[in-house]
Each structure stands twice: as structure tokens, then as C-alpha cells.
Amino acid sequence: MSNAIDFVITWVDGFDPEWQKLKASYIEDERRSSIKFGEERFRDWGILRYWFRAVEKYASWVRKIHFVTCGQFPNWLNLNCKKLNFVKHEDFMPEKWLPTFNSRAIELNMFRIKDLSEQFVYFNDDMFINAPVRPEDFFVNNLPCECAVLNIAPVNMNRFGIGSVIFNDLNVINQNFNFTRQFKSHWLKWINLRYGIRNLMKTFLLLPFRCYTGFYESHSVISFLKSSFLEVWDKETKQLEMTSSHRFRDRSDVNPWLVKYWQIAEGKFYPRSPKFSATYSKKKNTPNSPLDITQAIDDIRFHKHKVICINDRENIDHEEFEELSRKIQEVYSEVLPEKSEFEI
């Protein structure tokens, strides 16, 4: 049985006039940033209350939820709920890095949250528990559950900087770990039938490179050990401080996937099937693209996966976003109609 487990979720209301005014006051910092975003980075599906309802219904065992924002909170949120810890950036981030609009800076420092448990699960606000889950779905023998599969890191340098941040993460991992030695030490965790034959073949095909070429990335919730953050900060202080100092995202950043990769490289994980979760986004008609976002509605209704991500994309225009948002809100109102203890 696992020890106490907390959930951490970050959220921002990108349409808040005060937040927009504050962000605009740092326009020169934003212009210097090497990554540019449109409104999809900050727009809201309007389903946050269902995130809390799902936690109450499907994961009532969670010890505490740490709701992390710049100080914003929806007017329906019950701040007096005993399971809720409302956390402002200023409560855990060093003052010299505030205010920040860089989610990577926030995520890399979340281990500093007061009263955060050693074992915690991190959620973006577009990631939802979708069916009953147990502590053992996230931690087994006090180890984070993960899918350890080698992959080829993306080389495209799109405006979101995803390729660059993964490259930066991998560079740190390969500087700190000898792949061949670590693989031999934990090969039973890498060669595991839970991953499926196709994923095992990926790993076998990439073994000759004798380095971490990339990791399977599900874009889902991540199980973390707080002690892993402390270790990475101790070993890579300069890199993490640099990312934390960037008020807006930059291509030189690392992100919390670095800590996840670190846990895998160390062998501090327990194998989990990639079928545990699913990501829904705008369909790209490529073999490895996420599932069509319209399919998320069926998954919510029929609970096909234990965790889902409803991911916004720049290629979902405003009208399409509004229509999809309405439909997703409707299905959630059917599946999770009752207020949770987190609501007023």
C-alpha cells in the first residue's frame, strides 16, 4: 500500500482583465522570449469544476489537492474545504522570479509547496481522472508508475518549443546517466509486457544508440517523488535556475519532464501500461497524433481510460473551440451532475 498521495493542479484564467493587464506590463520580456503563444495557451474549456467532481468520485482517497494559481480562483471554489490547499505562486516561488507567466518555471518549483507529500501526482488543468482509480495506479511500492519506452525525440522547432525543451531535458539526462549501465541495472523494468509489443520493439530498435534518444511521452499526469526534485535541483541548479528566471517560456528551458526522465533513468519507477491514459486533440491525420478531440466525449461518457487529456491546439479556431467546449460541458454535466465538497 502506498503512503499518502497528494494531487497538484496548476490553473490560470487567461481572460481575467487584471491578469491580462499584468502580463501586458511585461510586454518587453514577452517580446524577447523565443516562444510565442496565441490565445489557445490560456483559454479555458469551462470544465474545471468537473475536475474536482471527478477527483471526489473516482479518487476520494487523495490526501490533499494543491490548487496552484497566480492568486486567481473561480467564484464557485470552496476555499474552506479541508482537502484543498489554495496556493499562490508567491507562496512557494522565490520572489526574484515573480511574477511569472512561464508554466515550466512554476512546475519546476512546485516541490517547494508547503505540506506537499513525498508522493504526488501532477495535473495540467486539461488532464482529468475519468474512471475509478486506486493509489496503486500512480505509485507501487512507493515508486512512481511510468511507461519506460525509448523513442526518438522530436526535432521540429515549432513555436511552442516542444522539440527544444525535450532536447534540453535529454541533454541533461545523458550528461548525468550512462544509458547502457542504467539499462542493464533495470532491464526488467524496461522490457515489460505491460508496454505492448509495438513499444517494446521501439526500445529494442533504439538500444544500439547507447544513449537516451527520447522517451515515450503520453502527455498525461505524472507521478513524482518530491525527493527527485531535490536531487535534480542539487545536481542541475544552474539549468533549473535559468529556466525559473525566464518570465516567459524560452527555447533554452527545461521542464518537469526532466524530473520524470530522471526517475526513469535512476530506475525509480514501476512499469505501467500506456493504455492507462489517452490524449485528445485536434486530429492531424498522422500515425502518432493524438486521438480526435471529438472522441473525448465518448471516453467521458463510457470511461474508456482512467485518465484523459483534453488538449487545446492552435488549429482549433475560436468557433470550433466554443462548439467543442459546449459539447464537453454537456457530457460532463450528465456524468458528474452532483456538486463536490470543493464547490460552494
CA distance 65 to 153: 32
CA distance 81 to 341: 7
Please report, for the domain that includes residue 144, its CATH number: 3.90.550.10
In a domain, 342, yes or no: no
Domain holding 245, by residue range, is 5-335
For 193-249, what is each residue's pLDDT tens digit? 999 999 999 999 999 999 999 999 888 999 999 999 999 999 999 999 999 999 999
Chain-centre distance of CA 36, in angstroms? Answer: 20
Cell (9 digits) for 22 = 499584468
Which of the residues in the chain have pLDDT under 50? 1, 157, 285-286
Tell me if 273 sits within 8 A of 195, measured CB to CB.
yes
Residue 128: φ, ψ to 5°: -130, 140
In a domain, 101, yes or no: yes
Task: Count CA atoms closer than 13 A to 337's CA, side-chain side.
Answer: 2
Domain total of the chain? 1
In a domain, 340, yes or no: no
Q: Which residues pair with 86 in a beta bridge?
A: 67
Helices (H), 178-219: 179-185, 187-190, 197-206
In a domain, 344, yes or no: no
Reference 122, options 134, 114, 111, 130; nearest CA is 111
**Beta strands of the chain (E only): which ranges?**
5-10, 64-69, 84-88, 119-123, 127-129, 139-140, 143-146, 222-225, 270-271, 277-281, 291-292, 307-310
User: Which residues fall within 8 angstroms of residue 136, CB to CB, at 6 or more apart?
Assistant: 1, 2, 145
In a domain, 87, yes or no: yes
In a domain, 110, yes or no: yes
Classify residue 82 by its DSSP letter: T
CA distance 261 to 285: 28
137 C-beta neighbours (distance < 10 Å), count? 21
Cβ-based burial of 218 (10 A; exposed 0-12, middle 13-18, buried ≥19): buried
In a domain, 74, yes or no: yes
For 250-260, what is each residue's pLDDT tens digit? 999 999 999 99
In a domain, 119, yes or no: yes
pLDDT for the residue numbered 193: 97
Tell me if 214 sits within 8 A of 166, measured CB to CB.
yes
CA distance 94 to 239: 16
